[in-house]
């Protein structure tokens, strides 16, 4: 066992033990505790849990790589602006009002605000989006275990499944919340330490966000020497229209993701829900403002290490990642096919986006304990998001389907049992998808933001701010937004013909168009269909007054009895 594997194993055992202990100490016996942690989580802790829930394996492992390679610096800013901007929308337009409505899930809100048909559409959308996401998290767990512990992907995924099963099934949302607070602490420390160390080493400035600015000119020059566009150049890979549409799709998609929104039901009050969004934005910004510097430092070092270097003289990190197939020749052929005397050019090598953060300590020449810590941070990011997504699936099945449709007389103990069974079944499916991911799962994870924007965001905003929004309008809007957006995505992604689409609009940005179509259909159909009952219209008016929660609860009960 190498030093890196030893330290990874130590950090994995220590952090997993902490997660399991927290889950055991936070175990619950009520549906309120299982679904929304009893609504008693303080705002700072809730903000940290939201941040951990949101910053998945994609954010921790892939974001810096996307900025460095796939979208070349400037274009990568769409992810930073979109994913953080979505929390501003949540804080202003959704979080406090949904918290006041007091339901456990998005389908629960949709069902009570509109009708049962709308609830079922929302259930299907929530489950599909959540399974797509959780498959990516489990695949990320397998990647980390494969690289840093030398075990197979299947073994790594099974270990991750076992850990999530224990603390998610036992503690529900309460156990997940406090575990996610611990996981955020692990992942942000693991992300910042190597970033600070590399920034200090390269620029002499310990703040990566400041050191980042000092190397941009040098990086631009290196790329120009290689015949590449400037790293900081605007619209070199993504045009202005797609920059706007993709950013908007990510923003509105973030504000409509079910596993993010459900976190605000755990806040102590409407005011706490708003402050939870503020804390979440702060905690997320710590990582998202650091990611561009990690991308730039790593790319600069990679170019300097590889350009004009004989294969026999490359640094150790290169061979380590080439051996697991994440660094190849530009045409996808293994590096091992090259002779040791071959002189490398940066443009002749293909580097997987997912290795940048995991390899950054090795690229920066940091010691083995830091590498092990980064691996533990990646696992924390993947497991925290996986648990939140699995709870969405569990609550959608147990609360919105079983309790609301199949057996409304079910006791609380029976509801808990069904919820835990659904959670266990979801973990098994997620594990299978993580071991055998579809070939296009990475694309679909990115597209899920567009699907969330095109389905959930309009009906949530209109359900809160327009008392004339009808059940038929909301149902028609959700179905139309989902179908049109999905059809466009299938038409344009590589697997189904790789069409350039309409006006060159990227599939990752079409969610914005789908959202606008949803808004239009919902508003138009609502003009010609029966209006909500007077009780529901009064309830919608009251939702927007945070101080009158008692009246809202009475009206909600009255509406359900009508």
SS3 labels along 484-523? HHHHHHHHHCHHHCCCCCCCCCCCCCHHHHHHHHHHHHHH
- Tally of CB atoms within 10 A around 139: 25
For the chain, the straight-line distance linking the first and the last C-alpha, in angstroms and rounded, comes to 67
484 is a domain residue: yes
478 is a domain residue: yes
pLDDT, block means (10 residues), the chain with 562 residues: 80 85 75 69 87 76 79 77 82 80 78 89 84 75 74 81 74 77 88 87 86 86 86 82 90 84 77 83 88 88 89 87 85 88 88 81 82 84 78 81 85 83 84 69 66 91 92 94 87 58 82 95 95 88 64 43 34
The pLDDT value recorded for residue 9 is 85
Q: Residues with Cβ < 8 Å from 27, sequence gap 6 or more?
A: 170, 171, 174, 175
DSSP assignment of 341-360 equals: TPBP-GGGEEE-TTHHHHHH
The pLDDT value recorded for residue 559 is 42
The pLDDT value recorded for residue 444 is 59
Burial zone of 287 (CB within 10 Å; 0-12 exposed, 13-18 middle, 19+ buried): buried
* This prediction's pTM: 0.81
450: domain range? 443-531
What are residue 202's phi and psi, to 5 degrees?
Answer: -85, -40
The pLDDT value recorded for residue 437 is 66
520 is a domain residue: yes
The pLDDT value recorded for residue 528 is 94
The rounded distance, in Å, linking the Cα atoms of 101 and 317 is 52
28 is a domain residue: no
The pLDDT value recorded for residue 463 is 92
The pLDDT value recorded for residue 525 is 96
The pLDDT value recorded for residue 446 is 66
| Beta bridge pairs of residue 351 | 327
Domains identified in the chain, total number:
1
289 is a domain residue: no
pLDDT tens digit sequence for 247-277: 999 899 888 888 778 777 777 777 787 788 8
The rounded distance, in Å, linking the Cα atoms of 256 and 252 is 6
Residue tagged 């380590």 (tokens) = 320
The pLDDT value recorded for residue 517 is 96
pLDDT tens digit sequence for 399-427: 788 888 888 888 878 888 888 888 888 88
Q: Which two tokens stand for residue 500?
A: 């350039």
The pLDDT value recorded for residue 438 is 57
The pLDDT value recorded for residue 466 is 92
485 is a domain residue: yes
> Reduced to 3 states, what is the DSSP secondary structure of residue 327?
strand
476 is a domain residue: yes
448 is a domain residue: yes
Distances (CA, A) of 298 to 305, 309, 318, 328: 10, 17, 12, 17
The pLDDT value recorded for residue 546 is 55
The pLDDT value recorded for residue 190 is 87
pLDDT tens digit sequence for 153-201: 788 888 888 877 776 676 677 777 888 888 888 889 988 988 888 888 8
What are residue 52's phi and psi, to 5 degrees?
Answer: -65, -40
The rounded distance, in Å, linking the Cα atoms of 393 and 533 is 30
């Amino acid at each position: 066992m190498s030093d890196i594997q030893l330290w990874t194993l130590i950090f994995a055992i220590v952090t997993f033990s902490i997660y399991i202990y927290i889950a055991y100490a936070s175990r619950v016996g009520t549906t309120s505790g299982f679904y929304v942690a009893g609504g008693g989580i303080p705002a700072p802790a809730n903000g940290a849990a939201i941040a951990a829930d949101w910053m998945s394996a994609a954010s921790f492992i892939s974001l810096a790589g996307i900025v460095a390679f796939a979208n070349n610096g400037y274009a990568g800013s769409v992810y930073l602006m979109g994913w953080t901007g979505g929390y501003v929308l949540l804080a202003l337009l959704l979080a406090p009002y949904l918290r006041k409505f007091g339901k456990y899930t998005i389908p629960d809100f949709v069902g009570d605000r509109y009708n049962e048909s709308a609830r079922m559409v929302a259930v299907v959308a929530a489950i599909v989006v959540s399974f797509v996401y959780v498959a990516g998290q489990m695949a990320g767990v397998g990647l980390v275990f494969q690289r840093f512990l030398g075990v197979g992907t299947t073994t790594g995924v099974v270990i991750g499944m076992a850990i999530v099963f224990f603390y998610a099934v036992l503690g529900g949302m309460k156990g997940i919340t406090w575990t996610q607070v611990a996981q955020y602490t692990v992942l942000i420390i693991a992300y910042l330490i190597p970033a600070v160390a590399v920034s200090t080493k390269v620029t002499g400035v310990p703040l990566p966000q400041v050191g980042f600015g000092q190397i941009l000119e040098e990086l631009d020059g290196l790329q120009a020497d290689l015949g590449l566009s400037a790293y900081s150049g605007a619209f070199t890979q993504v045009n202005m229209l797609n920059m706007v549409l993709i950013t908007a799709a990510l923003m509105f998609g973030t504000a409509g993701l079910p596993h993010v929104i459900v976190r605000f039901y755990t806040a102590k009050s409407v005011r706490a829900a708003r402050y939870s969004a503020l804390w979440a934005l702060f905690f997320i910004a710590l990582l998202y403002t650091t990611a561009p510097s990690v991308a730039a430092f790593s790319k600069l070092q990679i170019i300097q290490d590889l350009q004009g270097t004989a294969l026999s003289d490359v640094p150790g990190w290169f061979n380590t990642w080439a051996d697991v197939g994440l660094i190849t020749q530009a045409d996808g052929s293994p590096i091992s096919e090259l002779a040791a005397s071959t002189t490398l050019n940066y443009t002749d090598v293909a580097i997987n986006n997912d290795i940048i953060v995991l390899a950054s300590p090795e690229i920066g020449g940091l010691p083995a304990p830091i590498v092990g810590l980064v691996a533990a941070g990646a696992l924390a990011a993947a497991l925290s998001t996986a648990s939140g997504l699995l709870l969405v699936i569990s609550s959608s099945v147990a609360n919105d389907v079983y309790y609301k449709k199949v057996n409304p007389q079910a006791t609380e103990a029976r509801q808990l049992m069904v919820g835990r069974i659904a959670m266990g079944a979801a973990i098994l499916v997620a594990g299978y998808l993580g071991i055998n991911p579809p070939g296009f799962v990475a694309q679909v994870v990115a597209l899920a933001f567009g699907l969330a924007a095109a389905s959930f965001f309009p009906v949530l905003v209109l359900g809160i701010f327009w008392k004339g929004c009808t059940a038929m309008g909301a149902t028609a809007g959700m179905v139309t937004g989902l179908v049109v957006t999905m059809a466009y995505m299938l038409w344009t992604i590589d697997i189904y013909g790789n069409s350039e689409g309409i006006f060159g609009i990227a599939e990752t940005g079409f969610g914005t168009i789908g959202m606008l179509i949803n808004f239009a259909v919902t508003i138009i159909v609502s003009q010609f269909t029966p209006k909500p009952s007077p009780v529901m219209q009064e309830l919608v008016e009251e939702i927007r007054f945070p101080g009158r929660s008692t009246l809202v609860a009475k009206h909600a009960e009255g509406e359900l009895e009508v």
